[in-house]
Amino acid sequence: MPHDTQGRIGPQDLGGLDGDSVDPSEHDLAQWERMVDAMTRLMYREKIFGDAAQLREGIEALGPDVYQRLSYFERWAASSARKCVMEGLVTQEELDERIAQIRERGRDGA
């Protein structure tokens, strides 16, 4: 029973689409996921995110392809970073540089 997907308000608008059966298994969160979860809370506290709509808007702005490819907290990380860049708190260059450093640390076995 195909469902007309026209008019979906964005990649997040899933209600009524066809899908696989639900996998009810439990997943423990990785440490970085716990960190991203807490980071968004701290961003609310510091009024960087003024409303839940701002975190959501940043997730929806990823577009359908990226939205579907990313895991849940990857989307949150992407939206949080975008917001901080837009607010001028960090630059994309700083983020890129730090990502390279973290990769190096990983290679050094730190």
Within 61-100, which residues bind other proteins (CB under 8 A)? 67-78, 80-81, 84, 89-90, 94-95, 98-99
Question: Is residue 9 near other proteins by the rule CB under 8 A?
Answer: yes
How many Cβ atoms are within 10 Å of 85's Cβ, its own excluded? 15
Compute the least distance from the CB of residue 2 to other proteins, in Å.
4
How many Cβ atoms are within 10 Å of 73's Cβ, its own excluded? 19
Using alpha carbons only, what angle is made at residue 15 by residues 11 and 18, rounded to the nearest 5 degrees?
90
DSSP 22: P
Site for other proteins, residues 31 to 60, rule: CB under 8 A: 32, 34-39, 41-42, 45-48, 50-51, 53-54, 56-57, 59-60
Question: Is residue 110 near other proteins by the rule CB under 8 A?
Answer: no
